[in-house]
Amino acid sequence: MSLLSLATTKPATTSADSLLVTITPGRGKKVVVHGAGITASQGTRIAEALQAVSATGKAGEITRVPSPTAIKASTIVAVGLGDRDADTDGEKLRRAIGSAVRGSTGQRKIAIVPPDTDDSTIADVAMAARLGAYAFTAFKSSDPATARPVRTVAILVPAPAGAARELIDRAET
């Protein structure tokens, strides 16, 4: 079974354990939620929940909150990208997604809402998710139930194109 998949499920209705979204700093102490398929009202509810726990949207920040009532996933994992305009090569996005996936050990399935749906963003998200989910556990003595990496990562896109599927396949190899 493949770890990565593309899904056209709306972010609010995904059956994943966690919904991973990207955030950036807004005006004042507000954060801006990014992602295709997230409505303005859902983005506002997510942002309010994140602001309640002092999320800032700074690059590398990872914040986990219970999902607002309009979202089926049990938790929201928000990863800060900082200044998106400064991330010209996708490095901040890859690091943020990889760290969030790595921090989601014990989860059965997570769904990632990419900030954009262009090919380079999908490729960055897929590669980061694949690398973040990697775990070498052959000689470890810790409890395998708590250290188990994420089993499935769904990248949510409005309409998957053939190119996006090729990018997922390439990230899997």
SS3 call for 20: strand
Number of structural domains (the chain) is 1
Looking up residue 124, the CATH number of its domain turns out to be 3.40.220.10
Give 83-96 pLDDT, tens digit per residue.
877 777 888 999 99
| Residue 151 domain boundaries | 4-172
pLDDT, residue 118, reads 87
Helix, strand, coil % in the chain, rounded to nearest 5: 35, 20, 45
Instruction: Tell me the pairing of strands 62-66 and 4-7.
Output: unpaired
Query: Is this structure's pTM higher than 0.75?
Result: yes
> Which of 60-69, 104-113, 122-131, 160-169 is the least confident region?
160-169
pLDDT at residue 145 greater than cutoff 60? no
Q: Which residues pair with 77 in a beta bridge?
A: 20, 64
Whole-number Å distance between alpha carbons of 115 and 99: 16
Give 12-67 pLDDT, tens digit per residue.
999 999 999 999 999 988 999 999 889 999 999 999 999 999 999 999 999 999 99
pLDDT at residue 172 greater than cutoff 60? yes
pLDDT, residue 101, reads 93
